[in-house]
Structure 1
């Protein structure tokens, strides 16, 4: 995934070029179109030049202001909706170099003020010890793409330097299964639990754990990360899906808050993690 110049969305030159043609056909300047759509002239320019992918709402306002025929307007909105969802396969990431994906995610985190991570199955990369990270990044199936594990581990550990930025907030929500899943040997799991406790004591890192006894009336189907209110990355066996449309982002924010309502937080979360550590001992 390539990031736009403003760090917001990937470029979409084709959609931007079509919208530019309609603006010119309507005899409107970028300034006049921007005023009609309640957006800045610079944003209209970035969209038309393919430097920013417009949201579905942006395109809906633009086609209305440009009086685009209904059938074509629907098609353009559909293009925008599809462009705001992207599937990145695990095989493609491996071929590109998994370490590159770790570096790219670091850049995304550096551009956001608040990250929310829902981790129902395993500890997330930002919060892993080197031993846990190595296990998580090592292929487990014979059919898995070959990857440079040590280079990926180094990139993941470098990614963790963003946790040192006091102006950035990290909200981490784990399930009990994620904490107790024995991904590595017992001594390594002891160190991983202790690492989580140490992170939870930092003022900019907020850890919650949803216990199995919480009685949650919903299933935690997959891991996801929300960056501010502009991007969601959903992790799958086959790779990941990126969402940028506002409604999709808001849906995942609501999901995060729903599950957090059943979580142990603060001292109770730390006590739970220490209890898990003791059991691994």
Structure 2
């Protein structure tokens, strides 16, 4: 994963928003918003979503499954007293996003969002303009040290207190296994006892269409993921205690009930939640 160019000026951002759909490439954060039923998307994003769903039926359902998982995790953490959150690869804060969900329980909950796409970050900052206790950082989530020391995170979140870290639908874009493991380790080591880590990750188990998606030429508008399974990712959780049913089908995860695996449901997503002791 590499950073895009720095975020442009406000005037440039507004010009981008007014651009004709046919002159604007699809944006994956806007495509995700469309899949969730949001309104922060353009016709070009909707057309791209339809093309993807025609080739890989269920792509939109994958987006909704990621969101069901993150919603269940945030609900669990908030009920457990966590009122600080760091979301990696956050996209646009639109439908049922972390700060709105967490504030049902903790009105003063603080949330730092991180995304590597400059246009997405500029768009998210406009949507959150005037919202206290929320920040949006433009950074590569694979550079955990840079994320944790950035003012948007350092000045908003108190890492001496529990923080819920959401890596939902993002780690499969860290293609190098060692780099992905190292990034998770750096985030984990920075967290206080009582903090949580949630991961959802694409898998082709039971989903040959996802294998096709992962091996095709994406042309720069979307990104080929690295597919992994629990055996490869479990070592990332060293120092944590797994919460609930362990590695399961992400949209079926609940903290206090068993759940089937992605190999059973064909959801295309493994999910796990863990707590730092």
Shorter-chain TM-score tier: under 0.3
TM-score with structure 2 setting the length: 0.24
Which of structures 1 and 2 has the larger relative contact order (alpha carbons within 8 angstroms, sep 6+)? 1
TM-score with structure 1 setting the length: 0.24
Structure richer in helix, relative to its length: 1
